[in-house]
Amino acid sequence: MTTVHPRRPARRYGPDGDPAVAGTEALLQSLSRREPVPVADDVVRLLSALIEDVDHDLAAGQRLSSVSITPSA
């Protein structure tokens, strides 16, 4: 008796062609570049808040640490 296995569906997209993967890449690229992103869900909002929090006072040129980093001559 021959067992008939259902044919596996062929992959429609390569890793770079999957629209969902490309959509995530576009979103994360915008977050990474600190560009405004549409807050589509809670996770995007939370990641945006984390970015804003870690970037806080980073651009202001404030002294960030008590540890000196000045290389000696």
Partner 1 sequence: MTEGCVADAKSGVRLATRSDGVVHKDDLKDLTSLAVQGDRTAIESLLAQLRPMVVRYCRARLGRVSGQYHIADDVAQEVCIAVLSALPRYRDMGRPFASFVFGIASHKVADALRSSVRSAVPTQDLPDGPDEGPGPEETVVRYIEAEHARRLLSRLPDNQRELLMLRVVSGLSAEETGNVLGMSPGAVRVAQHRALARLRALAELESIA
d(C-alpha 30, C-alpha 37), whole Å = 7
Does 20 contact partner 1 by CB under 8 A? yes
Minimal distance in Å, beta carbon 6 to partner 1? 25
* 43 contributes a contact to partner 1 by CB under 8 A: yes
Task: Kindly state whether residue 13 participates in binding partner 1, applying the rule CB under 8 A.
Answer: no
Half-sphere exposure (CA, 13 Å, Cβ side) for 35? 8
Total residues in contact with partner 1, by rule CB under 8 A = 39
* Dist CA 41 CA 12 (whole Å): 27
Q: How far is the CB of 19 from partner 1 (least distance, A)?
A: 11
Cα distance between residue 22 and residue 16, in whole Å = 7
Residues 6+ apart with CB under 8 A from 21: 13, 15
Binding site for partner 1 (CB under 8 A): 14-16, 18, 20-22, 24-25, 27-29, 31-34, 41-43, 45-47, 49-56, 58-59, 64-67, 69, 71, 73
